Amino acid sequence: MTVVKIFRYIIGILLTFLIVFPFYWVIVSSFKPADQILKPDLFPKAFTLVHYQELIEQTSYLTNLSNSIIVSIGTMAISVLIVIPASFALYRMKFKGRKFVSRLILATYVFPGILLLVPVYQLMADLHLVNSLLGLMVINVTFAAPFSVWLMQGFFDNVPIALDESAAIDGAGRMRTLFQIILPLIGPGIATISIYAFIMAWTEFAFSSVLINSDALRTLPIGLNAIMGQYTVRWGWTTAGAVLALLPVVIFFAFVGKYFVKGLTAGAVK
């Protein structure tokens, strides 16, 4: 029994180290002065904010940041607005073609996104959505929504169908049932799919790199990639940039993370 316990501790410590060390190392490096950053000191001997200051003053980090926030919030809002009604119909109503719709959605999330890079570019060009943040939102929703619909099933199933029935007997229409009875009960599900959409948009790389070609409209990952490409040797900027790119999403996650993990858990087991 104790052998099992010791073994568990060792594995636990190794896994924690594996997850935490890269964060620690990049954060620590970003605060080291330029003449020390290349030295492998685990604990910094001096502390500076100069990389951050230069990054903010001399690169388009702040513009990239605001673009990323706009795209992520937009993706989140649109995806909730189309996923909730669709899930309500799919998991609560009987209608002809229901199977077809759920197959169509399933087909999407098994479909290789990269294969669509070229034609999506052409589509966006036709719609005048190349070099536009709206274009990025459109494609992010495409890849966030199907998994979200799948996740919502667990949440809808947890609301007893008897509630819908008694609402109907009381004379409430279907839409009123959705807004007044179901929505308040699937709050955690809505939170989960919102966070999922936000993270998908925040981290998206392939489409953003193809669909955006002006500096002013780059999102963070693309901006950071450009900074890296131009200044490979400037590890001060690169590490500081990495910290600034992960900070907003980590802060966001600090507030909503527990709902997300719980929601993913609840949604996935159905």
Partner 1 sequence: MLGKGKKFNKLLPYLLVAPIVIWILVTIFVPLISVIKESFYSTGFIGTKGTFVGLDQYKAALTSSAYWTAWKKSLIWVLGNGLTQTVLAFSVALLLNKASRMTNFARNWMIIPWIIPTIVVAIFWQWIFNGSYGIFNHVLQSLHLIDKPINLLGDSFWSFPIVIFINTWHWFPFMAVIVLAGLSTISQDIYEAADVDGANKWQQFWRITFPSLGKITFALGLVGTLWSFNIFDTIYILTGGGPAGASTTVPVMIYQQAFEQFKIGQASATSIITAIFLSIFAFFFLKFAGPKEE
Distance of alpha carbon 252 from alpha carbon 257, whole angstroms: 8
**Residue 134 is a binding residue for partner 1 (CB under 8 A):** no
What residues numbered 182-221 form the site for partner 1, per CB under 8 A? 199, 202-203, 205-206, 210, 220-221
In whole angstroms, the minimum distance from the beta carbon of 31 to partner 1 comes to 14
What residues numbered 88-117 form the site for partner 1, per CB under 8 A? 88-90, 93, 95, 97-98, 101, 104-105, 108-117
Distance of alpha carbon 205 from alpha carbon 220, whole angstroms: 9
**Residue 146 is a binding residue for partner 1 (CB under 8 A):** yes
**Residue 132 is a binding residue for partner 1 (CB under 8 A):** no
In whole angstroms, the minimum distance from the beta carbon of 78 to partner 1 comes to 9
Type and span of the H or E element at 101 = helix 98-109
Minimal CA–CA distance to 157: which of 195, 185, 193, 194? Answer: 185
**Residue 133 is a binding residue for partner 1 (CB under 8 A):** no
In whole angstroms, the minimum distance from the beta carbon of 198 to partner 1 comes to 9
Among 123, 181, 183, 185, binds partner 1 (CB under 8 A): 123
Minimal CA–CA distance to 226: which of 187, 122, 15, 237? Answer: 237
Distance of alpha carbon 195 from alpha carbon 77, whole angstroms: 10
Distance of alpha carbon 171 from alpha carbon 177, whole angstroms: 10
Q: Is the dihedral of CA 17, 20, 26, 28 positive or negative?
A: negative
Distance of alpha carbon 202 from alpha carbon 197, whole angstroms: 8
Residue 138 phi, psi (nearest 5): -55, -50
**Residue 162 is a binding residue for partner 1 (CB under 8 A):** no
Residue span 58-87 as binding mask against partner 1, x where in contact by CB under 8 A, dash where not: -----------------------xxx-xx-
**Residue 172 is a binding residue for partner 1 (CB under 8 A):** no
Among 44, 54, 77, 174, binds partner 1 (CB under 8 A): 174
Question: What length is written for the chain?
Answer: 270
What residues numbered 247-266 form the site for partner 1, per CB under 8 A? 249-250, 253, 257-258, 260-261, 264-266
**Residue 179 is a binding residue for partner 1 (CB under 8 A):** no
Query: Tokens 């926030």 — which residue?
Result: 69
Among 6, 162, 251, 269, binds partner 1 (CB under 8 A): 269
Residue span 29-58 as binding mask against partner 1, x where in contact by CB under 8 A, dash where not: x--------xxx------------------
Distance of alpha carbon 232 from alpha carbon 51, whole angstroms: 14
In whole angstroms, the minimum distance from the beta carbon of 202 to partner 1 comes to 6
